[in-house]
Structure 1
Amino acid sequence: MSDHPRDEFRTQLLNHTMRFAAAYVPAYGEVAYRCLSDVHALAQLPSLPILKKSDILMRPEAFRHISMEPHLIQHTSGTSGQILHVHRSKEELAAIESFFSKSDEPTDKTTPVIISILGSTTDAIQTPAPAVGQVFRLNLRDPTWRSRIQDVVRAPWEYVEGTHHARPAVIVGLESDLRVLTALLRECSFDFSSASISSLITSGDVITRRLRRYYESTWRAPLFDQYGLSEIFGSCNQCGVCGHLHPDPHVIMEVVNPISSEPVSDGVGIAVFTTLAPFVQCQPFIRYWSGDLVEISEVSCPVDLLGFRLLGRLYKSVSLPGLTGSGIVLSAIEAYDALDDFSEIASSGMFKWLWEIKDHSQLGHLKFDLRMDSDRGSHTLVATIETRFTPHLYPEQSESLKFRIRDALCKRSGSLRESIQAGHMSLRINLKPPGSIDSFMPDMVE
C-alpha cells in the first residue's frame, strides 16, 4: 500500500465503504460482489467488477440504500446517453458540510471571492459544499448582470456580503461560460489589466493549447483545469506543482484498459471511480466506468502519486483494430487540440441569445468528424472538416491546409504517427465548404 497521506486516507474510508455498501445496498450484496467486505486495500479493488451506467439504469433501485431517503436528486447531462439520476441523502450532505467546514476560517481581508459564472447550465443542481471563499454567482443569462460585468470583474468584493475589502478573486465555471464572459468583455473593449482576477478554474470542456494561451494572456492570470462527473462527488484538479490532474482525496480513481478492463499503471486507459462513505451513502458507486480516456503516469508530486491528463470520451476517439494496448490511435482531445490552431476551420454558432455578441461562431466548436474506415484489412482514418472557405475554389490553399492538418495530427498523436509509418493505416483529409456539417457540439468530456 502507498504510504502517501491521500492514499492512507482513502484506504481508511474504503474499509468502511465496502462494509456499508454490502450491508445496505442490494446490488452489492449479490454474488458478483461476494468478496466486497474482504477488500481492505486499494490494490484489492481490481478483484471487483466494473460498474457501468447501463447496469444502474437497468435497475436503479438495486444501487440505492434500502432505507435512506434522497434529499437531493441530481442528474447527468445526457450528452453521452440516457440521463442517470443521482440521489443524495441528508446524512451525506451533513458529512460533506462537516468535513469541508474549516474551524480556522481566513479573515475577511484574505478570503478570496469566487465568481461562479452561470450561463449554459443555470438550472444545474450542485452538491452543496462549503467553499474556500465567498461566492458570488454571476448569471450571464440575466441582461442586467451582463451590463455590469465590467464592474464585477474590476471589484468583485463589492458584490459579496460582509466588509468590502479588496482581496483576490477567482473565476470558476464551465469553459463555455468563461468563453462567453471573455467575449462579452472583449466586445465592449474592456481593459483586462483592470480586472482583479488572480486565477481561472474551468471544467466541462477541453482546454486546448490555443485556448490556454488565449485565456491566460487575455486575463493575465493562470488557468487551471478541473475534471469530474455528475455521478461522482469529488473532482480531479490540475496541480499547481506538477501540472497533472489529481483526484480529490475523498474519491478513488483507477485506470483500466478499455478493452480488457485490466489495471493500467502507466499509459492510456479509462478512468474508473469509487465513491467513499460518509461523503456518498445513498447511492454509492464502486469502480464506476467513466467512459473517459486518460493518460496516467506515476508522478513524484507531494500532492498525489496518481497524475494524469485527460484525453476525452472513448467513443469519440479513434481506435485501430488489432493495435496492442488501448487500441487508441487518436483521442478526441488530441484531435481537437491539433485542429484548434487552424483559423481556416469553421466553428458552430452558439449562445445566439447573446445579442451583444456580433460573431457567435467565436463561442462555438470546431466542425469536424472522424471515422475509421476498414475494408479487407485496410484501415483509413477519414477526417472530414468544414472550412470557412469553399475548398474547390481555392485548390492550392486547400492542399496546403490538408498537408498542415495531417502534419499537426501526427505531431499531436505519436500513436497515429507510428501506425501510419508502420503501414497499419492511412489518413485522408476531406475538406467541406461552409454549411456542410450540422451545428457541432463535441461531447469530448463530461
Structure 2
Amino acid sequence: MHTTLTEQRLIGLARTLTRLRADSPFYRQLIPAGDIGPANAPALLRQLPWLDPAGWAAVREQLRTSTFDGIATGFTNGTSGVPKAFYSTEAERAALRAGRVADGRRRLQLVGFNHGAVVGLDLAGEGDFVPLLSMRYFDLAADLIANGSADGSRVRVLAGTARQIKDLTLHMQQRFGDLAGFGLETLEVGREFLSPGWESRLREWWGAEIDTVYGFSELRMCNALKCRVCAHHHFPPSCVAEVVDPADPDRYVPLGGRGSLLVTALHPYVEFEPRIRYRPGDLVELAAQPCPKWGEPGFRPLGREEHCLAVGERGVFVTTADCVAVLADLPQVAVSPRHLYPDADQRHYEAGSPRFKLVDDAAGPAVHVELRFDPRVWPQEARAVADLARASLPAELQVVLHGPGTLDDVTLV
C-alpha cells in the first residue's frame, strides 16, 4: 500500500517523540507515558513548548540524547546572525546520505545556503564547490561551466544564493555573451528571494529550469523545494512543520493564512541535539489548498519576522516577500551596492537586492524605499513608485521615498 507524504511524517514523528522521551532529559518529563503512534503524535507534539534559537541554546545541554562520542562539528553560514556551531552523529549523516537523490548530473555549488552542512555533515561528494570570494573565483567557476572538468564532464546544475547566481551570470555574460550553449539544465536558488523579473531573465539567458530552495544550514534535512505543480514549497518527509499565529503560538493559522513557522526535525536526521517545534523566526503563507502532486498544502516563505509588519486592526502582515515582489523589478529603485567581493566593479551592481525597510513608529506603519535618483528632482517618477507600492502591497501603509545612499539599515533579503 502506498504511504502518503503526510503518513510518512506522522510515522517519523511518533518514532521521534518515543526516542526523546527515553533519551532526552528535557523532554522526558514533558511527554506522558504510553504508546505513541501516528494517531496521537500530533496532539502530543502540540503540548510541547516551542523554542526559538535563544531558548533552544539555553536548554541545549538538557536536549542532548547521548554523549559526544563520534560527534562531528559543523558551522552555519551566518546569514541570519553570527555563525553557530552544530553537532551531528554518524547516524544523522548516514540518514542524509541515504536520503540524497543523486541524478548523475554534475553540480557546481557556490558555497552559500548549505556550506556549514557540507563541512559538518561530510556531504562534499555532491560536486564542485567554488566560494565566490573574489573575481579570481568568479573566473574559476565560469571556466568550469564553460569548459567542463578535467574528466570531460560538464556542469549541469548550478546551486547558490540568488545574489551569487545573479553575480556569476552577469560576470559570464561579459566574458562569453550567450550562455544558453553551455548546457546548464537547472539553477538551484537557495535562501534569498528571487524576483519575478530575475527569475524570467535567468531562465531565458541560461535556457534552464529554476528551482528555489528554502532552508537552514544547521537543518539541512528540512530544506524545502518549490514545487513546479503548485508553486509552493514542501518540506521533505524528514521533518514536520506547523504554522502558528505569531501572537498566539497555540493557535494554528487556517489554509491561505500567514504565520510563524515551527519546524520539528525527525529522528534520525537530528539525533544528538533535537529541534522540536523550533521557531527559526520566519513568516510563511500556507497554500489555500493541498497540492495535487503531494496531497498536502505547501507554503510560501515571506521573510524574517523581525523585518515584517502587522498592519491595521486585523493584523494583516506586510512582509519582505511582498516588498520584493513589488519593488525588485522597478528600475527606479536602488539596489544594495557590492560589498562581498572587494575587487568587483560596477557591472555587478544590478545583481543587488532592492533597498527598503518596513517601519512602524510614531508616524505609523510605512515602507521606506531608496530610489536611484533624488525624488525632489524627479517627483513624477518618484510618485509612480509610491502609487504602485500602495496599490500592490497587501495592506495600506505610507510609502516614504529616499534619494540615493540616504536610507540606513535596509532590510536584508
Contact 1:117 1:177 in 2 (8 A): yes
Task: Establish whether residue 71 from structure 1 lines up as the match of residue 71 from structure 2.
Answer: yes
Deviation at 1:62, TM superposition (A): 1.4
Q: Distance in 2 between matches of 1:269 and 1:121?
A: 25
Instruction: Name the aligned partner's letter for residue 12 of structure 1.
Output: I
Deviation at 1:145, TM superposition (A): 4.5
Deviation at 1:68, TM superposition (A): 4.1
Change (3 A) 1:293 1:123: closer
Contact 2:77 2:113 in 1 (8 A): no
Deviation at 1:216, TM superposition (A): 1.2
Task: Establish whether residue 254 from structure 1 lines up as the match of residue 224 from structure 2.
Answer: no
How large is the RMSD of aligned CA atoms in angstroms? 2.9
* SS at structure 1 position matched to 2:72: strand
* SS at structure 2 position matched to 1:393: coil
What corresponds to 1:424 in structure 2? none
* SS at structure 2 position matched to 1:362: helix
Instruction: Name the aligned partner's letter for residue 118 of structure 1.
Output: V
Matches within 5 A, 1:373-384: 373=361, 380-384=364-368
Q: Distance in 2 between matches of 1:66 and 1:396?
A: 65
Task: Establish whether residue 305 from structure 1 lines up as the match of residue 296 from structure 2.
Answer: yes
* SS at structure 2 position matched to 1:270: strand
* SS at structure 2 position matched to 1:253: strand
What corresponds to 1:118 in structure 2? 111
Contact 2:74 2:121 in 1 (8 A): no
Q: Distance in 2 between matches of 1:83 and 1:221?
A: 32
Query: Of the candidates 32, 38, 51, which is equivalent to residue 35 of structure 1?
Result: 32
Change (3 A) 1:36 1:321: farther
Q: Distance in 2 between matches of 1:284 and 1:190?
A: 48
Q: Distance in 1 between matches of 2:308 and 2:89?
A: 36
Among the aligned pairs, what percent are the same residue?
23
Gaps of 5+ in 2: none
What corresponds to 1:438 in structure 2? 408
What corresponds to 1:405 in structure 2? 389
Contact 1:118 1:141 in 2 (8 A): no
Matches within 5 A, 1:339-418: 339-351=327-339, 353=341, 355=343, 357-373=345-361, 380-409=364-393, 413=394, 416=395
Gaps of 5+ in 1: 421-426
Deviation at 1:226, TM superposition (A): 0.3
Q: Distance in 1 between matches of 2:114 and 2:160?
A: 10
Change (3 A) 1:123 1:244: closer
* SS at structure 2 position matched to 1:289: coil
Q: Distance in 2 between matches of 1:329 and 1:439?
A: 20
Q: Distance in 1 between matches of 2:52 and 2:273?
A: 14
Cα deviations across residues 211-241 of structure 1 (Å, max 9, x unaligned)?
Answer: 2112112212121110112332331001133
* SS at structure 2 position matched to 1:306: coil
What corresponds to 2:54 in structure 1? 54
Deviation at 1:316, TM superposition (A): 0.9
Deviation at 1:251, TM superposition (A): 1.2
Q: Distance in 2 between matches of 1:223 and 1:320?
A: 33
Matches within 5 A, 1:224-303: 224-232=211-219, 233-261=221-249, 262-266=251-255, 267-297=257-287, 298-303=289-294
Q: Distance in 1 between matches of 2:264 and 2:106?
A: 32
Contact 1:320 1:328 in 2 (8 A): yes
Deviation at 1:354, TM superposition (A): 5.4
Deviation at 1:100, TM superposition (A): 2.9
Change (3 A) 1:206 1:381: same
| Count of residues in Structure 1 that have an aligned counterpart in Structure 2 | 405
Cα deviations across residues 92-120 of structure 1 (Å, max 9, x unaligned)?
Answer: 223333x2378xx87xxxx2111112379
* SS at structure 2 position matched to 1:50: coil
Deviation at 1:398, TM superposition (A): 2.7
Change (3 A) 1:236 1:29: same
What corresponds to 1:191 in structure 2? 178
TM-score normalised according to structure 2 size: 0.87
What corresponds to 1:423 in structure 2? none
Contact 1:100 1:130 in 2 (8 A): no
Task: Establish whether residue 152 from structure 1 lines up as the match of residue 139 from structure 2.
Answer: no
Change (3 A) 1:312 1:353: closer
* SS at structure 2 position matched to 1:278: coil
Q: Distance in 2 between matches of 1:231 and 1:148?
A: 28
Contact 2:167 2:348 in 1 (8 A): no
Cα deviations across residues 382-413 of structure 1 (Å, max 9, x unaligned)?
Answer: 2222111112222333333322332233xxx2
Contact 1:367 1:439 in 2 (8 A): no
Q: Distance in 2 between matches of 1:14 and 1:296?
A: 21
Deviation at 1:255, TM superposition (A): 1.3
Cα deviations across residues 23-78 of structure 1 (Å, max 9, x unaligned)?
Answer: 22221123xx2338655335322232222222122232112224243622234455
Q: Distance in 2 between matches of 1:101 and 1:368?
A: 38
* SS at structure 2 position matched to 1:185: helix
Cα deviations across residues 128-179 of structure 1 (Å, max 9, x unaligned)?
Answer: 3769x961223333655433444422343x35x5xx356x711111222112
Q: Distance in 2 between matches of 1:359 and 1:439?
A: 24
* SS at structure 1 position matched to 2:271: coil
Instruction: Name the aligned partner's letter for residue 20 of structure 2.
Output: A
